[in-house]
Amino acid sequence: MKLRLPRPSLALAREMLAFWGSERRTLRQGFTALAISTAVGMAAGMVLGFMEELLAVLPGLLVLVPAAIGMRGAIFGALGARLGTGILTGQFEREITPGGFAHQNLVASALLTFSSSALAAIAARLIAAVFGLASISVWQLMIVSMLGGVLSSAFILVGVVFLARTAQSRNWDMDAIGSPIITATGDIVTLPALVLATFAITRVEWLNATLGIALVAVAIAAVVTGYRSPGPLTRRVVRESLPVLSYAAVVDILAGAVLEVQVESLLAEPALLILIPPFIANCGSLGGILSARLGSDLHLGLISTRRFPERRANLEGSITVLFSMAAFTGVGLIAHVAATVSGFASPGLQTMVGITLTGGLLAFVMLFFVAYYAATATYRFGLDPDNHGIPIVTATMDFFGVLCLVAGMYLFGVI
């Protein structure tokens, strides 16, 4: 007896396969970008694994880690999406001229880096206090967050410009490759930058307070400069992005608090620490891909702001399912190999893959709805989905991604 699919299901399957066929270039570029993101995220995971002593000496630092990683993805993933839209609409120019489209976007991203890093430090100290978690002082967190954020952002900013120029000249799909590669770049430079920033912390608290207050003043100046910028695009990006990044900072810090609660279990099996950066990175990357594609579809009139996702939006989601299956399986596999090679204790290959695949599929369900409603709601209210969609999605998925990863760990009995 042959199993036959109902005609509507068969028609949907055919439509989905046809859509995948029409998006072969996007699939190739997306899988390549996610592979790079996973590999680089794993390198960041190795850095986090070797930071176990620093995490023990500086309590509360783990609370800051998801925000430090996530904010880079939120700011520069949104920058990549705006530049990608600029490429599609003919606004992006290869030469960065003062007052031009690219220049105004870069200035806005730099200003947002200062303000969001300061906000993340304050949120980290407040949430640690609310949850009764041990933590270093707010000034020490400010030093690590601000200096680490600026150091890492300088590298990422150069990388985003290079990527946009390359995408334009080679006709690459910036929406498919931008978020994963930008996220990967942020992962690999952010954690080492945080480690370097800890060297600026002294044992004399008044020196920490003096430097911390100076950095707060820089952050306030950045906000004022952004709001009063002569460039209309810079003003718009800063004004629209700051509320979203404030939300992102709080949500990312909550994700860090979840990890800090489990810090003893994570330090006991450092292989689990290795999972955190690439898993969070892939949640952000996948959300960024889907959000950027939905944003471009809205700009091009391919989808509308309906209450429920229409067929085109669901087809875009089906591509993300393919990406998710490959990405999260790869995270578990590579993390186990990396842990074994480094001599870290691992619960085993099947368990590691089971944790990431289970957590990843749970995360995808949330990711799709967050990406769709973030893009359509912002567009409906006359806001730019590139300024709101990616930061909202990446921050929300940082939090839910951590919850899903911890849920996977619980289900497989490792914590």
DSSP character for 4?
Answer: -
Confidence check: pLDDT of 222 > 80 = yes
- pLDDT range class, residue 80, cuts 50, 70, 90: confident
CA atoms in the 13 A half-sphere facing the CB of 193? 25
- pLDDT range class, residue 313, cuts 50, 70, 90: confident
What is the Cα–Cα distance from 254 to 73, expressed in whole angstroms? 17
Amino acid at residue number 302? L
Confidence check: pLDDT of 134 > 90 = no
- pLDDT range class, residue 176, cuts 50, 70, 90: low
- Establish if 404 belongs to a structural domain: yes
- Mean pLDDT on 93-117: 88
- Establish if 5 belongs to a structural domain: no
Question: Helices 174-198 and 24-50: crossing angle, nearest 10°?
Answer: 10
Retrieve residue 374's tokens.
Answer: 């973030």
- pLDDT range class, residue 320, cuts 50, 70, 90: confident
- Residue 211 has what pLDDT? 93
SS3 42: helix
- Residue 223 has what pLDDT? 94
Confidence check: pLDDT of 291 > 60 = yes
Confidence check: pLDDT of 8 > 70 = no
Mean pLDDT is highest, among 13-17, 31-35, 222-226, for 222-226
Residues near 263 by Cβ (< 8 Å), separated by ≥ 6? 55, 62
What is the Cα–Cα distance from 112 to 126, expressed in whole angstroms? 21
- Best CA proximity match to 312, nearest among 26, 7, 8, 15: 15
- Establish if 200 belongs to a structural domain: yes
- Establish if 1 belongs to a structural domain: no
What is the Cα–Cα distance from 177 to 167, expressed in whole angstroms? 9
Retrieve residue 348's tokens.
Answer: 């085993």
- Establish if 4 belongs to a structural domain: no
What is the Cα–Cα distance from 192 to 77, expressed in whole angstroms? 20
| Domain region containing 251 | 11-411
Q: What is the mean pLDDT of the chain?
A: 83
What is the Cα–Cα distance from 27 to 320, expressed in whole angstroms? 10
What DSSP line would sit under 226-292, residue for residue? HHT-S-HHHHHHHHHHHHHHHHHHHHHHHHHHHHHHTHHHHHHSHHHHHHHHHHHHHHHHHHHHHHH
Q: In the chain, how many domains are there?
A: 1
Retrieve residue 261's tokens.
Answer: 């609660």
Residues near 336 by Cβ (< 8 Å), separated by ≥ 6? 271, 346, 348, 349, 352, 353
- Establish if 340 belongs to a structural domain: yes
- Residue 386 has what pLDDT? 64
- Establish if 169 belongs to a structural domain: yes
Spell out the SS3 assignment of 15-33.
HHHHHHHHCHHHHHHHHHH
Confidence check: pLDDT of 345 > 90 = no
CA atoms in the 13 A half-sphere facing the CB of 25? 8
SS3 335: helix
- Establish if 304 belongs to a structural domain: yes
- Mean pLDDT on 282-305: 80
What is the Cα–Cα distance from 378 to 67, expressed in whole angstroms? 23
Confidence check: pLDDT of 73 > 70 = yes
What is the Cα–Cα distance from 391 to 199, expressed in whole angstroms? 30
- Residue 34 has what pLDDT? 79
φ, ψ at 398 (rounded to 5°) = -60, -45
- Residue 1 has what pLDDT? 44
- Mean pLDDT on 80-94: 79
Confidence check: pLDDT of 3 > 80 = no
Retrieve residue 387's tokens.
Answer: 């300024």
Q: Where are the alpha helices (DSSP H) in 131-231?
A: 138-170, 174-198, 205-227
- Mean pLDDT on 349-367: 90
What is the Cα–Cα distance from 254 to 127, expressed in whole angstroms? 7
- pLDDT range class, residue 399, cuts 50, 70, 90: confident
Q: What percent of the chain has pLDDT over 90?
A: 18
Give residue-wise pLDDT tens across range 28-63. 877 887 787 777 777 777 877 777 778 878 888 888
